[in-house]
Amino acid sequence: MSEIIKTEAMVLTKMDYGDTSKIVSLYTKDFGKISAIIKGGRSSKSKMGMMVDPLNHIQVVFYKKDTRELQIISSADLINFYSAIKEDLDKLKYSQAILELLKNLTVEHEVNDRLFKGVIRILTLINSNTEHPIVLFARFFIFFLSELGYELQFEKCAVCGRTNLENMELSHNFELGILCSDCRHTHVDFFSINQELFSYLNCLKYSKKIELVNMAAAERAIVFLERYLKFHIPDFKGIQSFQIYK
């Protein structure tokens, strides 16, 4: 027997199904990630088919049945369209990367209210020009890693425990953590982190304001975060959205 459910959702992806329908992936507030079908969603007259579109924040009503892989959407109302994101390729690239992380790395039906609120908040900030989108994306990426259980630690050297890490060449071993200039030479496999990148990563993690964005450091930070995630989740192949929006 189906249960009628209403919840907020972020639309992650949408694809054609059969001659008339659409299949969507939703990240919902109350049920985590789910797959659903919009019957008749391919019709140009279907308002719901247009409303349930990637990067839309919606309130959705669907018929939930635990034994069914695809839930059936009965209605949807738009909460936020994020128009500024959809009109700017740079904002769109990083916003799509956020959706890609959710789609590929969250577990079906696993509820995470903090993560849902974090997604809505970061997209709202990207939409409203509070910071450069590359900075906001990296802030979300670090938050996302923490929610997955892979929180980064920059407070002290993972080998000797040294806490004063300023003014030295550092490294990060993906298994151990941050390494000071003395301990970095005892490990072969590491990612070099200069003071500029170290300072930038700390600003991201602790939500400190970044007055002037150094794009080289910002781009290297994302390379670092991708490699860190690949180490912990070998099936992760990197963020494909960056290739699409080159």
**CATH number for the domain that contains residue 43:** 2.40.50.140
56 with 85: CB under 8 angstroms? Answer: no
> Above 80 in pLDDT, residue 44?
no
> Alpha-carbon distance 20 to 98, whole Å?
29
Q: Whole domain around residue 177: which residue ranges?
A: 83-153+168-244
User: Is a pLDDT exceeding 90 seen at residue 200?
Assistant: yes
Q: Mean pLDDT throughout 24-40? A: 96
Question: Quick one: 188 and 91 in the same domain?
Answer: yes
**Helix, strand or coil for residue 217?**
helix
Nearest CA to 216 out of 194, 191, 245 is that of 194
Is 70 exceeded by the pLDDT of residue 148? yes
pLDDT of residue 1: 65
Residue 50 confidence (pLDDT)? 86
| Average pLDDT score over residue span 47-69 | 91
Contacts of 235 (CB under 8 A, 6+ apart): none
The mean pLDDT of 143-167, rounded to a whole number, is: 95
Number of domains in the chain: 2
Which ranges of the chain does DSSP label H, i.e. alpha helix?
47-51, 83-86, 89-105, 113-127, 133-148, 195-205, 215-232, 241-244
Residue 230 included in any domain: yes
- Burial (CB < 10 A; 0-12, 13-18, 19+), residue 187, is middle
What residues have CB less than 8 Å from 144, skipping those under 6 apart?
A: 101, 105, 115, 118
Query: Any idea of the CA torsion for 110, 116, 117, 120, to the nearest 10 degrees?
Result: 180
| 236, 118: one domain | yes
Q: What is the pLDDT of residue 245?
A: 75
Same domain, 116 and 185: yes
Tell me what the pLDDT averaged over the chain comes to.
94
Are both 88 and 122 inside the same structural domain? Answer: yes
Mean pLDDT of 73-95: 96
Question: pLDDT tens for residues 213-228?
Answer: 999 999 999 999 999 9
Q: What average pLDDT does this structure show over 133-154? A: 97
